[in-house]
Amino acid sequence: MIIQYKIVRKIGELPQIGKGYVKQLNLVEWDGHAAKYDLRPWTRSGEPAKGITL
């Protein structure tokens, strides 16, 4: 199953964690649903890791 996402707005970024991940607070649309606040690590290439959606 492929989950589609679109970062609507980048709000903030915390210092780098681990190997190439940056924790960000963004406004994200997941699978075409309304945009929600999202806090999770992202790779520099833009791939999400596990996080939380508020």
Residue 19's domain is classified under what CATH number? 2.30.31.70
- Name the domain count of the chain: 1
Q: Is the pLDDT of residue 3 over 80?
A: yes
Amino acid at 52: I
Q: What confidence score (pLDDT) does residue 20 get?
A: 82
The per-residue pLDDT for range 5-48, each reduced to its tens digit, is 999 999 999 877 667 889 999 999 999 999 999 999 998 888 99
Sign (positive/negative) of CA torsion 9, 26, 50, 42?
positive
- Domain of residue 11 covers 5-53
pLDDT of 51 above 70: yes
